[in-house]
Amino acid sequence: MECEIEELIVKFPPVINIPGRSSLYLGKKRILELHTRGGVVYLMTPYNYVKLTPDRWMKFIDYLETINEELKAIVFMTGQVSFCAHIGNEYYVTLNSPWRYVNISQYVFLLSCVRGLPTGDSVSLSLDDWTHLVALLPTIYEQHPELIT
């Protein structure tokens, strides 16, 4: 995994670097984009996006180690994984075996339903996208120190 991280950083540097705003492509396929603007992080695909406010971003980062451990369990098939973490305002991060994706989705909870229903606001990060995102965190924080606090 570490070799892939270094390889991805060299091959896919930041695309746009404007003060206070940046855009990065994640993964080898370069389908998922990460935009930062005014302390807000947007993860976008050609069809969907999620908006991670500073609070949501911090909660997402708080779960970083746990998500990494759960992904390792999926990749090495050491057990069943069914992970769900609330990151604020009806947004959740989920991982489920055997799929190798980190899903970030907004859910709607209706009074008649016990479980939440996903809205169209969702993005799935492949293992490749996730590895690249984790590798780029120091660069993201260097360009946007407001995301650290």
Per DSSP (E only), the strands in 19-147 are 21-26, 32-37, 40-44, 49-52, 82-88, 91-96, 101-108, 117-126
Task: Tally Cβ neighbours within 10 Å of residue 40.
Answer: 16
Asked if the 2-147 domain carries CATH number 2.30.31.10, the reply is yes
- 61 or 113, which is more confident: 61
Instruction: Tell me what pLDDT residue 92 has.
Output: 92
- 128 or 114, which is more confident: 128
Using 50, 70 and 90 to split pLDDT, how confident is the model at 101? very high
The mean pLDDT of 73-85, rounded to a whole number, is 89
pLDDT, tens only, 39-75: 899 999 888 899 999 999 999 999 999 999 999 999 8
Give kind and range of the element (H or E) at residue 74: helix 64-75
Which SS3 state, helix, strand or coil, does residue 64 take?
Answer: helix
Q: Is the full-model pTM beyond 0.85?
A: no
Asked if pLDDT for residue 113 goes beyond 70, the answer is: no
Using 50, 70 and 90 to split pLDDT, how confident is the model at 16? very low
Instruction: Tell me what pLDDT residue 91 has.
Output: 92
Longest CA span, the chain: 50
The mean pLDDT of 83-103, rounded to a whole number, is 91
